[in-house]
Every structure is written in structure tokens, then in C-alpha cells.
Amino acid sequence: MRVLLAVLLALTASGCAAVGGHDAPAPGSPTRATLEQLLSRVLTVTARPHPGGYERGCKAGQGCVFGPAWSDDHDGPGGHDGCDTRNNVLAAQLADVAYRAGAGTCVVVGGTLIDPYTGRRLVFAKADAKAVQIDHVYPLAAAWDMGAAGWTPARRTVFANDTALNLLAVDGKTNQAKSDRTPASWLPPAGANHCFYAGKYLTVAVHYGLPVTKADKTALQRVARGCPAN
């Protein structure tokens, strides 16, 4: 648990990262030793299984396997606070946050973001909400395939709404490009942010007991070798 807390502190600090495909790790990135500790604890499987049955949608006749999107009805961080998960993430991760008049602090209508995947400064406006999206660092579809299919619905809902570990406000187009890919086939466009992303991904995996594939682990080990020594 102390390792996880240390990682979270480092990851929070690294959110404002510089751009650069081969840049040195952004200030505040987790250290190589921290990532190696997480890598030693994460479960590993040969390849991603495909059990079938994943259906995110919650309309009539759909599986709704991770619960309604951005539900406040869960027992994880931010649950039952009267605000939906998407707005909780925006309020926590944007700067210069503006709220809808009369809605208290539950509806974010504006703000700025240093995108943790591209390093660019983005301006968020609710009128163009898709420009800033909320990403599951460990994707829901991948989590389903890697073990969440066997979880209780309540645990899956907590995972899908985990503002403390698994959710990041990010550039919308980058989020769409990432889709449900895992580290073996996707890393942030900004090389300076690879250590940050690797730390986040591994922290989620260890916390929830989700495995990584051998290819994912190889990719994450490669990232770790380029992270700060201390």
C-alpha cells in the first residue's frame, strides 16, 4: 500500500508534462525503482483472452456490464456525493474551473487542461464537451477480458468510476485513438509522459488484481528503463 501511495503522489505531480516524443521524463514522473516494484507485483498472462459478453451500453436490451456511464451510485471515491463521475474528474483535474450557475460545483462548463497524453494546453468548454474526454487508463474492455467479467456488478461499477486511480481528463481525439488498447500497442504521444502513464496503468492493475500481457509487460519494462533513477 505504501508503494501505491507513493506512486499516486508522483503521478499527480507529473500531470503537467512537457511535449516531446523522445524527451526526458516530465518532472515528477515516477522513478524507475517505483515502476520496477510495481512490475514485480503485477500479474502476467501470455495473451489477452477474449471471453465475450462485453457490452458497455445500458439501453434496453444491452448488457450494461460496468453500470450506467459516470454513475454516482457507487461506493468508490466520489460516489454518492450528488455529482456524476465525469464532472467530478473535470472539477479535480482542470484549472480555472467554471461551473454552471445554480448547479453548485456539480456541472463544469469551462476550464483549462494540460493534457497528460499530449502535453498540450487545452481549453474546455461544455459546448464542445467531446474535445476533452474522460479516459479509463486501464480500458474497460481490456479489464473485462482480463478478469473483470468475473467480478460482481458493484465492483465493476466502482472500477468504471474510480476517480482516484483510473480516470484521466484527456484530449478527445487522442482518447478515441487509444480506444481499448493496452501498453503493448499504445503509449501517449508525448514521450515525456510515458513514465506517468506506465505508473498509472500499473497502479490500477496492481490495485485491482488485473494482469498485463507479456507484451504489455515488455513495453512497460522498456518505459521503466527510461524513467528517473531517483
At 150-188, the pLDDT tens digits run: 999 999 999 999 999 999 999 999 999 999 999 999 999
Kindly tell me if the per-residue pLDDT of 20 is higher than 90: no
Confidence grade of residue 54 (pLDDT, cut at 50, 70, 90): very high
Residue 22 has a pLDDT of: 53
Q: 47 versus 78: which is more confidently predicted?
A: 47
Please report the DSSP string for 178-228 in residue order: HTT--TTT---SSGGGHHHHHHHHHHHHHHHT--EEHHHHHHHHHHHHTS-
Question: For 106-116, how does the pLDDT look when each residue is reduced to its tens digit (9 = 90+)?
Answer: 999 999 999 99
Separation between Cα atoms, residue 29 and residue 198, nearest integer Å = 10
Asked if residue 6 has pLDDT above 90, the reply is no
Q: Average pLDDT for residues 143-152, to the nearest whole number?
A: 98
Amino acid at 3: V
* Residue 196 reports pLDDT greater than 70: yes
% of the chain at pLDDT higher than 90: 85
Q: State the pLDDT at residue 15.
A: 39
Quote the CA–CA distance of 170 and 113 in Å, as a whole number: 8
22 or 94: which carries more pLDDT confidence? 94
Helix (H) or strand (E) holding 121: strand 121-125
pLDDT at position 88: 97
12 pLDDT higher than 80? no
Q: Residue 3: its pLDDT value, please?
A: 43
Contact residues for 154 (Cβ-Cβ < 8 A; gap 6+): 74, 75
CB burial string 66-75: b at 16+ within 10 A, e below: bbbbbbbebe
For position 24, what pLDDT does the model report? 86
Give this prediction's pTM.
0.89
Mean pLDDT of 25-53: 96
Mean pLDDT of the chain: 91
Residue 49's pLDDT is: 97
